[in-house]
Structure 1
Amino acid sequence: MNDFIKLIKPYIAFDEVSSELKDIFDSGQLTKGKHVEKLVGSLKEYTGAKHAFLTTSATTALTLCLKALGIKSGDKVAVSDFSFPATANVVEDLGATPVFVDVDKLTYNMLVKDLRKKLDSSVKAVIFVDALGNPSGLIEIKEVCQEFGIPLVEDAACGLGSSVDGAKVGAIADMTCFSFHPRKLLTTGEGGAILTNSDKYAEWLRVKLNHGASGIKGKGMNFVDFGYNYRMSEIQALLGWKQIMKLDSIVVSRNAIASEYEKLLGPLGFKRQACAEGVYHNIQSLVFTVPDDGSRDQVIDALSEQMIESTLGTYCLSATTYYKKRYGMVQSNALWLENNTITLPCYEGVVVKRVVSVIRDFSSS
């Protein structure tokens, strides 16, 4: 009987952290310790960003970025329309309005021409999404933002390990947010990070992420502002630090597996997510468009029957029940991608030929 093939497996094992984990418990310092400092330092070194801050998730990271920019009720924020709902939810939560920008059918990323059409004086920020880890188009969107004097926040929840013209994602946008959710290549269970080269944003984040404290007053902390506790624990940071040291090799391995899939599925009409010239994709998720409109769900069902996990690419935000009812402006390309993309298992040890065999049998039936 065939074993169940999961969509993804974490790139971390207990024996890689067991001795340091014991040290954490023995020390009694479960937060704000050396492993948090190691992960922060490693993220800066790996990406080339000047500042890094750990958070509880990419969602809290995105929220903080918008707060740092002063986004408030009545403002508008342009948002890539093909993403997980958290990208738009953080805008909505602040009382601002997400302006959904359609995406390219090949790269799945924000279209420059559609962004330009939707920019006006009420748009106070742009959130560009590295769709499934792919930063294609990021530089072009950054140039538009600079032209209009609008800050750029990169939702790189899936993007750690990707690069553009040799520059790692993390130091390109004004602020970049990562996720360390279990489906990501680097996972801390739950968790996230904000990276920036801006001293101004970094100082704001440093205070806000420390309950509003800056320095010492008397025998305690000096609370100069109100703030938050979105901290990552020592245990989580240890997991992340161990994985970032091998992240590049993970990305190379996933690209090799993706190429094997593409070679076998291409003749069946499946088209892999495209990358712009100069982009190196971490393959956080391996996504194809299916050859026939409307067949994607049937492919997922066929794989499931053979104990192979798969799922859709991601969501058209403007077509979700909430946002469609609230704004009623569904973006056509993003909706097409939601209905016609499939994510396949991609990690060391996955039997690619078994997955492809099921898809081939379905396609020929």
Structure 2
Amino acid sequence: MNIPLVDLKAQYKSVEKEANKKVKEVLSSASYIMGKDVIEFEKEFAEYVGVKHAISVGNGTDALVVALMALGIGKGDEVITTPFTFFATAESISFVGAKPVFVDVEKDTYNINPSKIEEKITEKTKAIMPVHIFGQPAKMDEIKTIARKYNLQVIEDAAQAFGAEYKGKKVGSIGDVGCFSFFPTKNLGCAGDGGMITTSDDNIATIARALRTHGSGENGQRAYNLLNNITEEVKTSEGHDDTVYNPLKYYNYLIGFNTRLDTIQAAILRSKMSHIDMWNEKRRENAKLYDEKLKDSSITVPVTINEGKSVYNMYVVQSENRDEMVNKLKEKGISTGVYYPVPMHLQKVYKDLGYKEGDMPAAEYLSHRTFAIPIFPELTHEQKEYIIDTVKNISK
């Protein structure tokens, strides 16, 4: 039996008819940039998450970069984040000219350890960027309490956690800004790249919308006025199709980007939105089965906090013999993924920050032990039983 870590073909089959129909509608409309499906998807996404605004962008990394810039974070600033994450988290902070300051994680939840945040705060600290890693919500109450105490912004990196909840609230609605990725392997993924910024702050939303399209047009002027305390009527362009021509795009007010979600990708994502709760619930069911069946094996299963509702974008376990486990599972046809082999503070690109081995003991411990096994919602009963039996036999 061969089981992939993520089965995108199986997911496509479950939405094939609806997705194909929506893509054909976009193609026939010839409205490929900022079309109707983008506008509708943003509305649906905001409503689902529980925020006023959802601003789609080209990918999850751009979501983080634009969010940081919309908050005014840049050169000379510091942003506290986790070392146990994908590179984009730290990279986005560096990209805007700020400095990532790493705080160690908890061994059981894999998320940033709130008890270690306060000691890293300096006069240069402007924000905290927790990551809801593998779909598991971070301890947001503790993080927000610290943020309020020191007047810091909170940016949720929710790239792996669409639909996850903390105390009944969807991630992406708890901090000042939330950032999502629609990379195909995410629990809500498109057929390419895509990302989303969420916020209930009108000003942040206006600046983010301006930044994603070269700081131009109506949103560019509104953002410029906001940033410069100018009160004046903003020009609007009526009756123009942005796909073909909008005269206001040639009036620029900020230095921004070209980072838009394609209309075709928005259409695909809309076709999946009605399935996401069911898919996330199946992931939780699979995780519960793994938790129960593997608890007596030599591997350590992930811990979910009582206040949280994970979506298990990945089911990441720990083993003292990771390399042997991964190799033997591969021999048996079970795909795995190692997340993450090198924590951020030990990446060569961050050598100049002065971190050394031993500075983040929990993250370093996990980097040598963690790996993911398949948990996608389309797993069959036979596949799950095969995975459980194989893992238990190898780990004896």
Tell me if TM exceeds 0.5: yes
1:235 aligns with 2:264: yes
More displaced stretch, 335-344 vs 91-100: 91-100
Secondary structure of the corresponding residue to residue 83 of structure 1: coil
User: TM-score by structure 1 length?
Assistant: 0.94
More displaced stretch, 94-103 vs 152-161: 94-103
Secondary structure of the corresponding residue to residue 316 of structure 2: strand
More displaced stretch, 222-231 vs 113-122: 222-231
Q: Deviations over 1:247-273 (max 9, x none)?
A: 111111111111111111111032222
Which one of 340, 344, 348 corresponds to residue 321 of structure 1? 348
Q: Do 1:302 and 1:358's aligned partners in 2 also have CA atoms closer than 8 Å?
A: no
Q: Deviations over 1:175-203 (max 9, x none)?
A: 00001111101111211100001111011
Number of the residue aligned with 2:206: 203
Secondary structure of the corresponding residue to residue 178 of structure 1: strand
Give the distance between the partners of 2:60 and 2:111, measured in 1 at CA.
19
More displaced stretch, 241-250 vs 6-15: 6-15
Which one of 176, 181, 184 corresponds to residue 186 of structure 2? 184
Q: Do 2:212 and 2:256's aligned partners in 1 also have CA atoms closer than 8 Å?
A: yes
Q: Do 1:75 and 1:123's aligned partners in 2 also have CA atoms closer than 8 Å?
A: yes
Which one of 29, 37, 47 corresponds to residue 45 of structure 1? 47
Number of the residue aligned with 2:274: 245
Give the distance between the partners of 2:330 and 2:62, measured in 1 at CA.
33
**Structure 1, gaps ≥5 residues long:** none
What is the deviation of 1:217?
Answer: 7.1
Give the distance between the partners of 1:224 and 1:120, measured in 2 at CA.
33
1:349 aligns with 2:362: no
Q: Do 1:12 and 1:239's aligned partners in 2 also have CA atoms closer than 8 Å?
A: no
Which one of 57, 67, 70 corresponds to residue 68 of structure 1? 70
Q: Deviations over 1:285-334 (max 9, x none)?
A: 111122xx3x0111111111112110123352112232246422441101
More displaced stretch, 12-21 vs 162-171: 12-21
Q: Deviations over 1:48-105 (max 9, x none)?
A: 1110011111101101111112222222111111100111111122232111110111
More displaced stretch, 73-82 vs 167-176: 73-82
Secondary structure of the corresponding residue to residue 295 of structure 2: helix
What is the deviation of 1:35?
Answer: 0.8
What is the deviation of 1:277?
Answer: 1.6
User: Could you say which structure has the higher strand fraction?
Assistant: 1
Number of the residue aligned with 2:197: 194
Number of the residue aligned with 1:121: 123
Number of the residue aligned with 1:300: 326
| Corresponding letter in the other structure for 1:278 | E
What is the deviation of 1:124?
Answer: 1.4
Give the distance between the partners of 1:198 and 1:311, measured in 2 at CA.
37
User: TM-score by structure 2 length?
Assistant: 0.87
Number of the residue aligned with 2:294: 265
Q: Do 2:26 and 2:32's aligned partners in 1 also have CA atoms closer than 8 Å?
A: yes
- Give the % identical residues: 29
Secondary structure of the corresponding residue to residue 223 of structure 1: coil
* Structure-to-structure mapping, 1:53-132, within 5 angstroms: 53-132=55-134
What is the deviation of 1:225?
Answer: 2.6
Q: CA RMSD in A?
A: 1.7
Secondary structure of the corresponding residue to residue 311 of structure 1: coil
| Corresponding letter in the other structure for 1:150 | L
More displaced stretch, 17-26 vs 217-226: 217-226
Q: Do 2:66 and 2:212's aligned partners in 1 also have CA atoms closer than 8 Å?
A: no
| Corresponding letter in the other structure for 2:247 | G
